[in-house]
Amino acid sequence: MGMRSAIVVGATGLTGASLVKQLCENEEYISVTVIARRKPDFEHPKLEVKIRAFNRLEESDIEFVHELYCCLGTTIKKAGSKEAFEKVDFEYPLNIASLAKKRGIPHMLVISAMGANENSPFYYNRVKGKLERDLIELNLQRLSIIRPSLLVGNRDDFRFGEKVGEAVLKIAKPFLVGPLKRSRAIEASQVAKAMIVIALHGKKQPVTIYPSQELALMDFPEIKEENSQDHLFNWDKRKSGEAIEDKEKLNRDVVINRDKYKIEETVVDKDVHFKQRKKDDE
């Protein structure tokens, strides 16, 4: 059982919801805090929920944890405007990162996008690129940027564009090889798992960007059974009662100085010898 703690922001979305469940089920974590605008459906003894408005978050809302996972994200259609979209996908994550830095949180993991680039001709990718740039400039202790391709899974809300893209990528998957493999759709649950793998076993450097094709392959390392210590002892000889060579005996030449130690119990080991005091010392 580990002793790690985590905060998840954006826990009611597709990836965030899966991440919270997996964190609570992971033995390395004893505490998972969700900061959300509404209560998630999932409940667990390890889970604490803080209902907060993201535009009014304060430093006191962010407690010290080992990892802060940011899964905030929306669409322009759902947000209602570009300005509202940027609040969710740019302003809130940046403010949360700033608060995390003040709290001394050693590792922040944030979901960006496959095509994130501040100079992109596409508005969505430009916003994600600006976020990555400003997060890097914050000089956090450790920043892991997660760049998934199209996320698939069972959403609460229907997104027509994503469903079309999911269907197209499913048909095209056999042809997406080599450099094009990065464009394959990825399960949100796999992204969530990959984030935990990165937190526990990822690169220990200030900034790391993880592309979708790497996320798709990530899994927890196999736990090897502890090596047996039988090779340190000759148990067969001891079980069979065979003679044991002198060099295998333990404590054969133990010498106890009566002047230094007070002996209160009777010693029956024939191999233990006491150093005799000289008469002129008595």
> Is 279 known to be catalytic?
no
Residue 147 in tokens: 């760049």
228 burial level (CB within 10 Å; 0-12, 13-18, 19+): exposed
Q: Which of 128, 130, 193, 210 is an active site residue?
A: 128
Q: How far apart, in Å, are the Cα atoms of 44 and each of 26, 41, 113? A: 12, 10, 30
Q: Which long-range contacts (CB under 8 A, 24 or more apart) does 159-163 make?
A: 159/75
Residue 158 in tokens: 């229907």
* Half-sphere CA count of 106, side-chain side, radius 13 A: 8
> Is 92 known to be catalytic?
no
Q: Which of 46, 50, 87, 124 is an active site residue?
A: 124
Q: Which residue has the tokens 């499913």?
A: 170
- Please identify every residue annotated as catalytic: 124, 128
